[in-house]
Structure 1
Amino acid sequence: MNYTGEPLNILHTIGLKELYPLIRISFVVSNDFDLTHFKQAILLCSKTVPELFCKYVLNNNSFVPVTDDLSDILFTDQDPDNAIGQWDLFSDPQLRIFLNKVINGYRITIYLSHILTDGAGGKQFLYLLSKAYNTGEFTEKNHQEITWIRKLLKKHPVKSDPHVDHPGKPLSMPVLANSKNKRRRTVTYRLSKVETNKLRYAAHQAKVTLNDLFMAAFGWAVQRYSDTDEISLACPTDMRQFIPGKKELRIANHTSRYNISVKSSLDQPFEKVINTVHQAMNRNKEQFQCFQSIQELVANYDNYSLSDLQKIVEENYHVRNISYTNFGIIDNQKFSFKGSKINNFAMLGTYRKYPMFQVAVSTYSGQINFSFAMLGNDEEERMGKTVILTIMDLLRNFLQKAA
């Protein structure tokens, strides 16, 4: 049986040469972890989300079964960053998991197809996997339909404007002289639980969101290397928040994005950058500006060819060289394996070939994580680390002043 895709699956089928559409989640579980339960849990998840074991067919936006065998999904004793280069979403399953033995447990690396689901759906997959592991059964149904999005777009009509998604003064990272010896690499830095708590409180006191703080710090850090007097960033947002009533399982693409372009000087106080970003995001939220990024695609989906739809995506949801994503909080009550401890959690977007660069923020077990996945060399990795360390310095200085 084939499974029909929804319009927003097409969002991540453009720019495949620059960037392969995947979500990467990694963590370490302690020794009490039951491998047999874990394998059964993966198979159980595929009953609820059969597309996980399917290949993606681009020309008709559908998912076609290719396996029911766990050996096509779960791989042991391989370097995930190296091995993932062989993954082809157009002939392989949309899920790939790597298991590596470490002292007292396993390092687990999960790759999900971004064509199949977005970051919020990735979190829901983790919750589903945990539930399957801990209970051995469930009767959840996965919902992917977007009737509710169509209603939202009618209720909040917005004007399309390609300039919004293609800023005149984009952020950029410096091209380095030595660009040889590139390989896939991932890096995560964490704020402590104490710092995370203090930052949450300080943001509340300043009447801004944590997301405002992260965007301001990331934009300002990268602006140091950019020939621009603006911070232009796209901020993905989960549209599930607009669905009334009981929350359903939605491992699907339900993301649009807010675009901001604000004037910024490197000489101003960081607090001013935060407030400028906060005001821009507030205006966007009040005007439902996020719908601009998907409106044309959804409106024309039934009548246009695939290549025309991809052009619409390019105009309204294009791949930016400098990119930001905030996966929000991963609930450690919902994502846990009975009797085991989870450490070193990180959730990232795909590998970006430097000087493309993305910072991914996630919060698990009371700790904020800043991560990046890069195709680059040692020197380029240092540049990425420098940006994240600058972000953390800015946030720690903000905390000192708030105290």
Structure 2
Amino acid sequence: MKYPGEPLNILHTIGLKELYPLIRISFSVDDRFDVGRFKKAIIQCNEVVPELFSKYVLEDNSFIPVTDDLEGVLFMGLDPDIDIERWDLFADPQLRIYLNKSEEGYDITIYLSHILTDGAGGKQFLYLLASAYNTGKIDEVNHQDIDWLRQLLKEHPVKTNRQVDHPAKPLTMPALADGQGKRRRTLTIRLSKAETNQLCQAAHHKHVTLNDLFMAAFGQAVQRYADTDEIALACPTDMRQFIPGAEQLRIANHTSRYNIAIKSDLRQPFETVVKAVHQTMANNKQKFQCFQSIKELIDKYDQYPLAELQQIVEDNYHVRNISYTNFGIIDPQRFTFADCAITGFSMLGTYRKYPMFQVAISTYCGQVNLSFAMIGSDAEERMARAVVLTMRDLLREYFLRFN
């Protein structure tokens, strides 16, 4: 059995030596968690999305099943940040779960292939997994088609501009002398529920989005260590929002991205940067600029060989050294296990080797999480932590000023 992929699966098949395409989700559950029900739920998810237990075949962009049980999918008693080095998306399942006993219950880390799905699809997987655990059954069908996207590209024609995806003044992190002891590290710094609520109120009062605030805070935090007067960032966006009708299960890659490059003087008030980000993003949305990043790949997918398609991705959707992603809100009503508390939730992108760096933002149970996954030394982790703490400080100053 072979399951054909869609064009956007190719987006994350470039630069594999520098960046392995995965999504990392971690959380803790209390001792009421039923491991047997959890195992059954994982199997049920694969019945709906068989690509989960499949290897990825790059040559023809397809998925071929490699197991029909939890062998190679569920691991117990292993450190996920160490063992994940063994994961081979081209030989192993596209899903990998680590379950470790703790004093209070269990620590769970879920890895999903970013070739198979994007962050929004990762959230849908969590909802599917929780539903299977809670009800013992799944009645949904997964959709991966992009007919709707081809139609949108006809309705909103855009011209590809490769300079947009390759800014003249990219953001950078400083190289550090201490490069010893590099290992995989993750960190999450949270706003409290009260702080998150205040930030939402401030955004509403100033008619900006939370995403505007996060991008401005991340951009200015990194700019403090970069020799540039611009904040150039790519902002991934979930194109499912453009699909008419009721929400469907779409564990797939349906992401494009907006590109911004705004002038920024560190002597300016943070509010000025927020306004500039908001105006640029609003203009980009009005022009459907996000379609620029994927139009050429979609248009040429059926006629061009893989190597040329990957070059198209490099031209229009390349891996940036400094990266931003906002997973948005994870619905606590849909991601919950019956009679069991979830704590310490975080959702991250892949591990980036410093000085590459990505901040990943998620909101769960009324709390904003500012997270990163990196490969670096102690000193490099301190630098990454400093950036995230600066982000938090900027956001705090913003809502304290306007509340």
TM-score range, shorter chain: over 0.9
Q: Which residue of 2 aligns with 1:2?
A: 2
Q: Which residue of 2 aligns with 1:52?
A: 52
Instruction: Return the alpha-carbon distance in structure 1 between the equivalents of residues 138 and 170 of structure 2.
Output: 46
Q: Which residue of 2 aligns with 1:372?
A: 372
1:104-158 per-residue CA deviation (whole Å, 9 max, x = no partner) reads: 2100000000000000000000000000000001221000000000000111011
Instruction: Return the alpha-carbon distance in structure 1 between the equivalents of residues 356 and 138 of structure 2.
Output: 41
Q: Please identify, of 328-337 and 66-75, the stretch whose mean Cα deviation from structure 2 is larger.
A: 66-75
Instruction: Return the alpha-carbon distance in structure 2 between the equivalents of residues 159 and 321 of structure 1.
Output: 25
Pair 1:186-2:182 in alignment:
no
Instruction: Return the alpha-carbon distance in structure 2 between the equivalents of residues 179 and 318 of structure 1.
Output: 26
1:180 offset after TM fit, Å? 1.8
Pair 1:15-2:15 in alignment:
yes
Residues 13-92 of structure 1 mapped to structure 2, 5 A cutoff: 13-92=13-92
1:71 offset after TM fit, Å? 2.6
Instruction: Return the alpha-carbon distance in structure 1 between the equivalents of residues 123 and 133 of structure 2.
Output: 15
1:144-184 per-residue CA deviation (whole Å, 9 max, x = no partner) reads: 00000000011101110110000000000000012121000
Instruction: Return the alpha-carbon distance in structure 1 between the equivalents of residues 138 and 294 of structure 2.
Output: 33
Instruction: Return the alpha-carbon distance in structure 2 between the equivalents of residues 349 and 138 of structure 1.
Output: 27
1:297 offset after TM fit, Å? 0.1
Q: Which residue of 1 aligns with 2:392?
A: 392
Q: Which residue of 1 aligns with 2:306?
A: 306
1:201-226 per-residue CA deviation (whole Å, 9 max, x = no partner) reads: 11000000000000000000000011
Instruction: Return the alpha-carbon distance in structure 2 between the equivalents of residues 310 and 78 of structure 1.
Output: 35
1:231 offset after TM fit, Å? 0.2
1:223-278 per-residue CA deviation (whole Å, 9 max, x = no partner) reads: 00111100000000000000011110000000000000000000000000000000
Instruction: Return the alpha-carbon distance in structure 2 between the equivalents of residues 136 and 277 of structure 1.
Output: 45
Gap runs ≥5 in structure 1: none
Q: Which residue of 1 aligns with 2:320?
A: 320
Instruction: Return the alpha-carbon distance in structure 2 between the equivalents of residues 303 and 293 of structure 1.
Output: 18
Q: Which residue of 2 aligns with 1:290?
A: 290
Instruction: Return the alpha-carbon distance in structure 1 between the equivalents of residues 186 and 180 of structure 2.
Output: 18
- What SS does structure 2 have at the residue aligned with 1:318? coil
Q: Which residue of 2 aligns with 1:342?
A: 342
Instruction: Return the alpha-carbon distance in structure 1 between the equivalents of residues 262 and 367 of structure 2.
Output: 29
Instruction: Return the alpha-carbon distance in structure 2 between the equivalents of residues 288 and 103 of structure 1.
Output: 49
Instruction: Return the alpha-carbon distance in structure 2 between the equivalents of residues 103 and 328 of structure 1.
Output: 30
1:29-49 per-residue CA deviation (whole Å, 9 max, x = no partner) reads: 111100000000000000000
Gap runs ≥5 in structure 2: none
Whichever residue aligns with residue 8 of structure 1, its letter is L
- What SS does structure 1 have at the residue aligned with 2:71? helix
Give the TM-score taking structure 1 as reference length. Answer: 1.00
Residues 120-135 of structure 1 mapped to structure 2, 5 A cutoff: 120-135=120-135
1:400 offset after TM fit, Å? 1.5
Whichever residue aligns with residue 35 of structure 1, its letter is V
Q: Which residue of 2 aligns with 1:97?
A: 97
Q: Please identify, of 318-327 and 70-79, the stretch whose mean Cα deviation from structure 2 is larger.
A: 70-79
Residues 268-287 of structure 1 mapped to structure 2, 5 A cutoff: 268-287=268-287
Instruction: Return the alpha-carbon distance in structure 1 between the equivalents of residues 58 and 179 of structure 2.
Output: 33
- What SS does structure 1 have at the residue aligned with 2:164? helix
Whichever residue aligns with residue 233 of structure 2, its letter is L
Whichever residue aligns with residue 111 of structure 1, its letter is Y
1:42-92 per-residue CA deviation (whole Å, 9 max, x = no partner) reads: 000000000000000000000001111213100001100000000000000
Q: Which residue of 1 aligns with 2:197?
A: 197
Instruction: Return the alpha-carbon distance in structure 2 between the equivalents of residues 262 and 175 of structure 1.
Output: 24
Q: Which residue of 1 aligns with 2:254?
A: 254
1:369 offset after TM fit, Å? 0.1
- What SS does structure 2 have at the residue aligned with 1:338? coil
- What SS does structure 2 have at the residue aligned with 1:72? coil
- What SS does structure 1 have at the residue aligned with 2:121? helix
1:396 offset after TM fit, Å? 0.6
Instruction: Return the alpha-carbon distance in structure 2 between the equivalents of residues 281 and 139 of structure 1.
Output: 38
Q: Please identify, of 386-395 and 175-184, the stretch whose mean Cα deviation from structure 2 is larger.
A: 175-184
Instruction: Return the alpha-carbon distance in structure 1 between the equivalents of residues 299 and 105 of structure 2.
Output: 49
Q: Which residue of 2 aligns with 1:401?
A: 401
Instruction: Return the alpha-carbon distance in structure 2 between the equivalents of residues 129 and 154 of structure 1.
Output: 36
Instruction: Return the alpha-carbon distance in structure 2 between the equivalents of residues 201 and 128 of structure 1.
Output: 31
Instruction: Return the alpha-carbon distance in structure 2 between the equivalents of residues 320 and 364 of structure 1.
Output: 27
Instruction: Return the alpha-carbon distance in structure 2 between the equivalents of residues 158 and 372 of structure 1.
Output: 33
Instruction: Return the alpha-carbon distance in structure 1 between the equivalents of residues 104 and 182 of structure 2.
Output: 32
Instruction: Return the alpha-carbon distance in structure 2 between the equivalents of residues 97 and 179 of structure 1.
Output: 30
- What SS does structure 2 have at the residue aligned with 1:283? helix
Whichever residue aligns with residue 106 of structure 2, its letter is Y
- The ranges of structure 1 where at least 4 consecutive aligned residues each deviate by more than 3 angstroms after the TM superposition are none
Whichever residue aligns with residue 389 of structure 1, its letter is L
- What SS does structure 1 have at the residue aligned with 2:163? helix
Q: Which residue of 1 aligns with 2:160?
A: 160
Instruction: Return the alpha-carbon distance in structure 2 between the equivalents of residues 385 and 368 of structure 1.
Output: 16
Instruction: Return the alpha-carbon distance in structure 1 between the equivalents of residues 389 and 138 of structure 2.
Output: 42
Instruction: Return the alpha-carbon distance in structure 2 between the equivalents of residues 321 and 182 of structure 1.
Output: 18
Give percent identity, aligned residues only: 69
Q: Which residue of 2 aligns with 1:329?
A: 329
